[in-house]
Structure formats: structure tokens, C-alpha cells
């Protein structure tokens, strides 16, 4: 039985040396970002000019000139706080409704552009009001990515246009799309969006040649993720993942800040706090938190509204403040273990990721839950970027390792009564393609609203709305007679495309799930223009590269066929084919895409008689074989 | 012609030469092919039977993903990337279907031309099972401590295992009516286990 032809791994040819481009790994974090590169499966973080810090704070200062990113931007918090944006990742792909839940915890004004609450009433991504400028979270993220790209180019002394960018496993479709859009604005081609915990596991796994079940506990500035991975023979398989997209170290800072304010109030100083006070207070709170990692108590001076107060925060007091937040992470972890039908003792190792896992109480909570000391020999601030760099190298240079990831949240459709019909369950391996059939509920119904949602709850209004579109042109039929097939595709980046089709007539509509909370095409085009990225040239270059890749494949395929079936090749055909190949190769050396495509078509025509001869020969063989069988 | 043992051929999109319809790659030019209408069992080189060795199947699954996953085609042409995505998705679907006993039973019933219960337009019509499920649900509703729920989970899992075994005998013995009933029962048992677990974590979080 020759049904499945399995090629040995590594046999698929690697791209030519000249096509290998530098690809970096980027951890675009809530609080901090890191860029790394891997060569020969040895990843390293890229540091600043002085060779010092790997961490770039995800903070942007919008002064009068070009935006300033990183440590320098953070310095402006004390003097010009309302032009400083931090923790913007929390707003990626979020509408005003989502942000209300974290309202007050954000140190800047958020708004929704005018005219979006009327009309179709489609919710849109929030905008930030930064010193009079209105910015989308995507633009701010793009500024951070530009700074990381610049750091990489400076450090490597090469152009960097490709990257693997990490996202929280729990990021929904809107947030993933927003991240990809930000990269586009920064002139970076995203080779793959990889989930942060998966990247961390990759960094650990490759280093230690680990086999078995591992848990990755990732508590960053703004998000919490827990993932369970099975590692075997070079395959990293995500078994289950869960988390909370709005829970992180920022909340610890908040708890401390609130505590400090409460103490001041008890001391008689009732503060009216504006956004810039809040930013400074949070900065103080973060220092307290960091101090408590090594010390049992930290003394701090708060200077607000002209009154200075001195406070002592003990580690015990801090741990009491965050106990509730920590128990949320352990409850989610238990749920994920249950989902995967795994007991804590089955877990061979626990990887800690994210700066917040430096907090001793976090480590203790993890150790208690899994009944073992967590692994932490790779810097938790760098581990994700290192894993992303490994994956970037694997995607551009080939690898024997493979990541198999899953959908973090269930995807479904709204049905009668606002009930969600799940089409793809959470923790389904990706890529995935699934279809479900629906029918009309009224006689003569000619259109159907397709409402795509993401989440685990049963009612639509408790899930996140991803997109709505209307399938029109359904032929007039009795209720229940039409057959509407809705197809969901989730690609390896975790991005969803939905199409709907009426089966009896073939009326079809397809949407990449993008509109809700996304940025529409027009805005995106304007931003690209504003950002001075040469989008058009970029696009043309990409098309030219694709034409060359395709032409090269074409030549290799024809040569392989000539090798395999030389007996069927007429001498005059061989000459025509060889000439066509030579012409195509000449065209490929140039920059004219149309010339390449024309020459490729000519090669196809030249090799057609040969291809037909090969098909005929195989059919004859098959028929001959059948005759023998019949005789038997 | 229809009963021929010889695999059917189609033209490879890349080298235009003949390639078996179910082949993953062209054996002449090595190009990845579109997924054919391949039976999930055949995809893993298995006989059609309810009893599957999941570990062995997983090993085949991983080996094939190593070859077909889009990450292997990141620097290939757009067409090859799209085909790889389709192939990897088909492979995932086959594995997910055969791995889960209820999904596997549904799949096998459909292959036999029988629509399983619980799908569209099918209501479950087994008073005994409905009664049993109702009682379980009430017991779960009343349960208030971890110990009671743990005992319930243990019990439903034990019943599910027994049910799965009977279901295998029924399907592989072509007793499809029985198989249909047992599939519904297995589905209920697994759902109850899930609900009990959910309640347990709710209790733990409270």
C-alpha cells in the first residue's frame, strides 16, 4: 500500500543561501520588549550600544520630534507625563467597552473616534489622546517595533525585515491582527506570530533536550498565560492553554499605589489625582515591588500635591495585597490542567516567564501548586525573545524541531436567541479548517446574518464579537430548506477567516475576520503613508521575490521530471525545454516581474508535450496492470 | 473500473506529471499536493476499526506534521504554503476525530451511512438515559464538597470506560443500532465528567 509517501525530515530542500534573510525574534511585551537573534540554534539577545541592557521598556514619549522609545521615554514621566504612553499592549484590539473594566488603571486618556457609536454601531479600537495627538494602540506598538528593529540593525549591521513576534497565548483574534498591523507599519514582515509560553518552552527545550510534559507559567506586566506542552522527539506540542488577558504585574503596582494612597488618606491627605500623578505614583509603586524581591521592607517617599509622606511597605503586606490576584492565576492553572486531564505531578518541569515571576510570592504559589521548584535558569525577561529567535531561524533556515500550537479560545457563531454554537473548541490544534451547516428559520428568507464570536460562554453577549457579515442572495425557499455552510479557517498564526456558502446555489462570501476592533483598510493605508514606510515598493519587492521563488520551483520540478522520465522525452522537446529554462533563468536575474512570469509560462508551454507523455504512460501502465489482475 | 486496486492518478500541479491522488508529495518533483478525500484511518495507515492504538497513531501524526506543517514552508511559494496549511489542517482533523472516542464513533457511524443522534434534527429518544442524566445532574447540583465531586468524577469515568469498550464491540460487530445508543450514552458520560470538573474548579476558586 503506497498511500502515504513520507519524506525524511530535512530532505525538503532549504532555500538558497542568497534568499536567507536575517530574521529576528521579538518579544513585544506590556512593560518591556526584547529583540534576539539565533544562529546555529544559539540564540542571543541584542543589547544597546554600550552592550548593557537587553530590555527596552515598552514606553513611548511623544514630544515635539520623533517618538522616543524605551528607558529615555520613561524618564519623561516625571516632567511631561501626559505625553508618555506605556502598557499599550493592554489596548491592542480592544474597544471602549473592554477598556472600561480596566478603567482607572490606565495612566492615560482613552477615547473612541467620533461617529463610531452611531450608524452600524460597530465597536472600534480605542484611541489614545497623547498631548493633543490621537493615536491608535497599533501606531504606538509600531513605534516600539521600529525602535527594536533599529536596535537589531545597528547591532547586526544588516537590514532586518523579517521577524517572529510573540503574543500572549490568550490574545484573541483582534489583538493578534492588531499586532500584525503594527509590524506592517514598522516595515517588518511577520514570519509567524508565536505564543509567548510556546516560545519560552522552545528556548528551554532546545537548551536541555527535554522530553515529557512541561508547564509554562507566564506572568508579565499585563497578561497571564499558562500553557501545558508535551515535548517529544523535537516536536513541541501545546496540549492546553489558558489565561487572563488583563492580569499582570501592573496590577501589583496598582495594589501598592492604592495602598499608598489609602495610607495618605488615613494620615489626613486626601489626594485628587490626575493622570500624570497616577503615572508617577505607579512608577514609585513599581520601585517598591522590585525592592521587595530582595528586601523584607522598603521605605518610600510619596510626593503628591505638594505634600510628602513617608511609607514603609513590608513584604508580608505586599503579599497580602496580591494574594487574590495570585489565587486567580492558580485557579486558571487548575482549570487548564483539568482540560488536558493532567495532574500536577505529571508535570516534569515548570518554566517561569515574565518579570512578575521574580516576585517571591509568585514563585512560592507556583511551587506549591506543582509541588516542585520551578525552573528559572534562563532570565525570565529574555526567555521569550530567545525562543522567538530560535523559531525565526527555524522558519528561514530550516530545522528539525516543530511547534504545534492550539487555539486559545473557542470560536463560534450566533444562533437563534443569542446562543453561541461553537464551531472550533478551544485547545484545538492549528491550522484547522471546520465547517458547520445552518439553515433559514423563515419562509423565503433571502439573507442571513453571520456573527462570529470568540469565548467560552454560552450567550453571545458574554463572548467577544469578532465580526459580522450578511450572506445575501439566498434563493427563496421554505424555512429550514436552505443549507448554509459556514467554514472557519484558523491559520498557523492563529488568525481566523470565515466564509459562508449557500450550498444549493453556491452563493459565497468570504471575510478575513478583521473589522470589529480592527483598523479598517483606509486608516491602515493612511497610517502606512504617514509612517513613511514605502509600502508600495515593499509590496512590489515582495511580488518580485514571490515570482522568483515560483520560477525556481518550476525549473526544479521540470528538471526532476526530465531526470525521472528521460525515456519519454523527445530530443526536440528536450532542446525546447532547455532553451525555455535558460530564458527563465536570465529573466530571474533581472528585476522585471512580468518578464519572469512570461518566461515561466513559456517554460510551462514548452514542457506540456512531455508532461502529457508522462501522464499517458502512467495511465497505460495502470490499465496494463489491471488487465493482468483480471486475468488472475 | 471502479473496483480497481490501482491507485488513481492526477496531474501534479508543479511538474504536471502523474501523481497518486492520495499522495502527500509528488514523487518526481517533491512538491506538496492538495489533500485528497482520504479516509481518516487510511491517513494513518490503519484498518477501519474502533479500537485504535492512540500512541502509535500519535507517532504517525507527529511524523507527518514534521513534513506538512506550514512552518516547513515559510520560505516556499505562496501556493505551497497554502497547500501545506490545508494538509496540516486535514491531518489535525483526522487525528482529533480518531483520538476522541465519541468523535471516532460518530465518524464511523457516518461512514456506515448512519446519522448519529444528537446532531441536527435528532433528539435523543432514550428515556432510561435521559433519566440517568437527570439524576446525575441533580446529584452534581447538590454536591457541595470536593470529595463528593471527586467520587462522581471517578464513577462517571469508570462508566465511560466500560461504555467505550461495549461501543467498540458494537461498531466493529456492525451492530449499528446498539452503537448509536452507546455513542449517545458515552457522550453524556463525558459531558457529565466535564461538568463535574467545572464545578470542582468553581468551588476551588470561590
Q: What is the pLDDT of residues A333-354, one digit of tens each?
A: 988 888 788 888 889 889 998 8
Q: How far apart are CA A574 and CA A572, in angstroms?
A: 5
A624 phi, psi to nearest 5 deg: -60, -45
Task: Pick A557's closest partner by Cβ from B9, B29, B85.
Answer: B29
Percent of chain B with pLDDT over 70: 91
HSE (CB half, 13 Å, CA atoms) of B129?
A: 18
The answer to whether B30 contacts A12, with C-beta atoms less than 8 Å apart, is: yes
Domain B9-99 annotated CATH 1.10.287.110: yes
**Per-residue pLDDT, B9:** 84
For residue A115, being part of any structural domain is answered with: yes
Minimal Cβ distance to A429: which of B66, B78, B92? B92
Based on the residue annotation, tell me whether A253 is a catalytic residue of this protein: no
Position A140 pLDDT exceeds 90:
yes
Q: Which chain B residues are Cβ-neighbours of A437 within 8 angstroms? A: 120
ipTM of the prediction: 0.85
Residue A207 lies in a domain: yes
According to the model, what pLDDT value does residue A114 have? 52
A525 lies in some domain: no
Cβ contact A232–B29 (<8 Å): no
Residue predicted with more confidence, A513 or A560: A560
Please judge whether A431 and B89 are an interchain contact, meaning their C-beta atoms are less than 8 angstroms apart: yes
If asked whether residues A346 and A424 sit together in one domain, one would say: no
Q: What is the pLDDT of residue B128?
A: 81
The Cα of B59 is separated from the nearest Cα of chain A by a number of Å equal to: 10
Look up residue B157 and give its three cell numbers.
469515568
| Contact (CB, 8 A) for B202 and B128 | no
Nearest CA in chain B to A566: B28
Q: Cis omega (within 30 of 0) on the bond before A468? A: no
Residue B148 distance to chain A (closest CA, Å): 17
Which range marks the domain in which residue A510 is found?
Answer: 411-519
A483 and A442 housed in the same domain? yes
**Contacts A194 to B, Cβ<8 Å:** none
Active site residue A421: no
Which of the two residues, A90 and A320, has the higher pLDDT score?
A: A320
- Match domain B123-205 to its CATH number in 1.10.3720.10, 1.10.357.140, 3.30.450.40, 1.20.1280.20: 1.20.1280.20
CB within 8 Å of chain B, chain A residues 238-297: none
3-state secondary structure of B26: coil
Q: Which of residues 465-494 of A touch B (CB under 8 A)?
A: 489, 491-492
Please state, in angstroms and rounded to a whole number, the distance separating the CA atoms of residues B108 and B105. Answer: 5
- Among B6, B14, B72, select the one facing A626 at the smallest CB separation: B6
For residue A306, being part of any structural domain is answered with no
Alpha-carbon radius of gyration of chain B: 22
Measured distance CA(A293)–CA(A304) in Å, rounded = 26
Look at B69 and A191 and tell me if their CB atoms are within 8 Å.
Answer: no
Question: Are residues A415 and A386 located together in one domain of the fold?
Answer: no
Mean pLDDT (whole number) for A99-120: 54
User: If you average pLDDT over residues B73-82, what whole number do you get?
Assistant: 88
pLDDT-derived band at A43, boundaries 50, 70, 90: very high
CA distance linking residue A2 with residue A113, whole number of Å: 60
What confidence tier does A632 reach under pLDDT thresholds 50, 70, 90? very low
Q: Are residues A231 and A162 in the same domain?
A: yes
Contact B66 A234 (CB under 8 A): yes
In the set A173, A181, A218, A493, the catalytic residue is: A218
Count up the domains in chain A and report the number. Answer: 3
**Peptide bond preceding B189 in cis form (omega within 30 of 0):** no
The answer to whether residue A256 scores a pLDDT higher than 60 is: yes
Q: Is residue A74 part of a domain?
A: yes
Domains of chain B: which residue ranges? Answer: 9-99, 123-205
Q: Which of A89, A184, A239, A514 is catalytic?
A: A89
pLDDT for A515: 44
Amino acid at each position: 500500500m503506497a498511500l502515504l509517501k513520507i519524506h525524511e525530515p530535512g530532505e525538503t530542500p532549504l532555500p538558497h543561501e542568497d534568499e536567507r534573510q536575517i530574521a529576528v525574534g521579538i518579544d513585544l511585551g506590556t512593560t518591556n520588549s526584547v529583540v534576539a537573534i539565533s544562529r546555529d540554534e544559539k540564540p542571543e539577545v541584542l543589547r544597546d550600544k554600550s552592550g548593557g541592557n537587553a530590555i527596552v521598556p515598552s514606553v513611548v514619549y511623544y514630544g515635539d520630534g520623533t517618538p522616543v522609545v524605551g528607558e529615555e521615554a520613561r524618564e519623561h514621566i516625571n516632567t511631561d507625563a501626559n505625553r508618555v504612553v506605556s502598557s499599550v499592549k493592554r489596548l491592542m484590539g480592544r474597544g471602549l467597552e473592554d477598556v472600561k473594566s480596566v478603567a482607572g488603571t490606565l495612566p492615560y486618556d482613552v477615547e473612541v473616534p467620533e461617529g463610531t457609536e452611531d450608524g452600524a454601531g460597530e465597536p472600534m479600537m480605542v484611541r489614545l489622546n497623547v498631548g493633543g495627538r490621537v493615536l491608535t494602540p497599533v501606531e504606538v506598538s509600531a513605534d516600539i517595533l521600529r525602535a527594536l528593529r533599529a536596535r537589531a540593525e545597528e547591532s547586526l549591521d544588516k537590514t532586518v525585515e523579517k521577524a517572529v513576534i510573540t503574543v500572549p497565548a490568550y490574545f484573541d483574534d483582534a489583538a493578534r491582527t492588531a499586532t500584525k498591523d503594527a509590524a506592517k507599519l514598522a516595515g517588518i514582515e511577520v514570519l509567524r506570530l508565536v505564543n509567548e509560553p510556546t516560545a519560552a518552552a522552545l528556548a528551554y527545550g532546545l537548551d536541555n533536550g527535554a522530553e515529557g510534559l512541561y508547564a509554562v507559567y507566564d506572568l508579565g506586566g499585563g497578561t497571564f498565560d499558562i500553557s501545558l506542552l508535551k515535548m517529544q522527539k523535537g516536536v513541541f506540542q501545546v496540549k492546553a492553554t489558558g489565561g487572563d488577558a488583563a492580569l499582570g504585574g501592573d496590577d501589583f503596582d496598582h495594589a501598592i499605589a492604592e495602598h499608598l494612597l489609602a495610607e495618605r488618606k488615613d494620615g489626613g491627605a486626601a489626594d485628587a489625582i490626575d493622570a500624570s500623578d497616577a503615572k508617577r505614583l505607579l512608577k514609585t509603586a513599581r520601585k517598591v515591588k522590585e525592592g521587595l524581591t530582595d528586601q523584607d521592607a522598603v521605605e518610600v517617599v510619596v510626593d503628591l500635591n505638594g505634600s510628602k509622606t513617608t511609607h514603609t511597605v513590608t513584604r508580608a503586606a505586599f503579599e497580602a495585597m496580591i494574594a487574590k490576584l495570585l489565587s486567580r492565576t492558580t485557579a486558571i492553572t487548575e482549570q487548564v490542567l483539568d482540560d488536558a486531564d493532567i495532574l500536577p505531578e505529571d508535570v516534569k518541569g515548570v518554566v517561569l516567564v515574565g518579570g512578575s515571576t521574580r516576585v517571591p510570592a509568585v514563585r512560592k504559589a507556583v511551587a506549591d501548586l506543582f509541588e516542585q521548584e520551578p525552573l528559572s535558569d534562563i532570565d525570565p525577561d529574555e526567555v521569550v525573545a530567545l525562543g522567538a529567535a530560535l523559531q525565526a531561524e527555524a522558519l528561514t533556515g530550516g530545522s528539525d524541531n516543530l511547534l504545534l500550537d492550539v487555539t486559545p479560545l473557542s470560536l463560534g457563531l450566533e444562533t437563534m436567541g443569542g446562543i453561541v454554537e461553537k464551531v472550533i473548541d478551544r485547545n484545538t490544534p492549528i491550522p484547522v479548517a471546520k465547517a458547520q451547516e445552518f439553515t433559514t428559520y423563515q419562509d423565503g428568507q433571502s439573507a442571513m446574518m453571520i456573527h462570529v464570536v470568540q469565548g467560552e460562554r454560552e450567550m453571545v453577549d458574554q463572548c467577544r464579537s469578532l465580526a459580522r457579515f450578511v450572506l445575501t442572495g439566498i434563493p427563496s425557499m421554505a424555512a429550514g430548506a436552505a443549507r448554509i455552510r459556514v467554514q472557519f479557517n484558523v491559520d498557523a498564526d492563529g488568525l481566523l477567516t470565515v466564509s459562508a456558502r449557500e450550498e444549493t446555489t453556491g452563493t459565497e462570501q468570504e471575510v478575513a475576520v478583521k473589522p470589529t476592533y480592527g483598523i479598517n483598510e483606509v486608516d491602515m493605508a493612511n497610517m502606512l503613508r504617514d509612517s513613511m514606510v514605502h509600502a508600495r515598493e515593499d509590496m512590489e519587492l515582495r511580488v518580485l521575490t514571490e515570482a522568483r521563488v515560483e520560477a525556481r520551483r518550476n525549473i526544479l520540478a521540470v528538471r526532476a521530471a526530465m531526470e525521472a522520465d528521460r525515456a519519454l522525452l523527445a530530443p526536440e522537446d528536450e532542446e525546447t525545454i532547455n532553451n525555455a529554462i535558460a530564458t527563465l533563468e536570465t529573466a530571474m536575474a533581472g528585476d522585471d516581474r512580468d518578464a519572469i512570469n512570461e518566461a515561466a509560462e513559456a517554460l510551462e508551454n514548452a514542457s506540456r508535450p512531455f508532461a502529457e507523455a508522462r501522464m499517458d504512460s502512467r495511465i497505460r501502465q495502470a490499465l496494463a496492470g489491471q488487465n493482468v489482475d483480471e486475468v488472475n | 473500473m471502479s473496483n480497481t486496486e490501482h491507485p488513481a492518478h492526477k496531474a501534479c500541479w508543479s511538474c504536471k506529471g502523474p501523481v497518486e491522488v492520495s499522495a502527500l508529495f509528488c514523487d518526481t518533483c517533491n512538491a506538496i499536493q492538495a489533500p485528497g478525500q482520504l479516509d481518516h484511518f487510511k491517513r494513518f495507515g490503519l484498518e477501519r476499526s474502533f479500537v485504535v492504538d492512540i500512541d502509535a497513531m500519535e507517532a504517525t501524526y507527529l511524523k507527518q506534521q514534521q513534513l506538512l506543517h506550514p512552518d516547513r514552508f515559510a520560505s516556499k511559494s505562496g501556493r505551497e504554503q497554502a497547500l501545506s496549511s490545508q494538509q496540516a489542517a486535514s491531518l489535525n482533523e483526522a487525528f482529533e476525530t480518531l483520538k476522541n472516542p465519541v468523535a471516532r464513533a460518530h465518524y464511523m457511524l457516518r461512514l456506515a451511512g448512519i446519522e448519529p443522534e444528537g446532531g441536527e434534527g435528532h433528539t435523543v429518544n432514550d428515556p432510561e438515559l435521559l433519566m440517568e442524566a437527570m439524576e446525575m445532574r441533580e446529584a452534581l447540583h447538590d454536591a457541595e464538597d470536593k470529595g463528593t465531586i471527586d467520587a462522581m468524577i471517578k464513577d462517571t469515568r469508570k462508566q465511560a470506560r466500560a461504555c467505550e469498550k461495549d461501543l467498540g464491540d458494537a461498531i466493529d460487530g456492525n451492530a449499528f443500532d446498539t452503537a448509536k445508543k452507546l455513542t449517545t450514552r458515552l457522550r453524556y458520560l463525558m459531558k457529565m465528567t466535564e461538568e463535574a470538573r467545572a464545578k470542582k474548579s468553581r468551588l476551588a476558586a470561590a
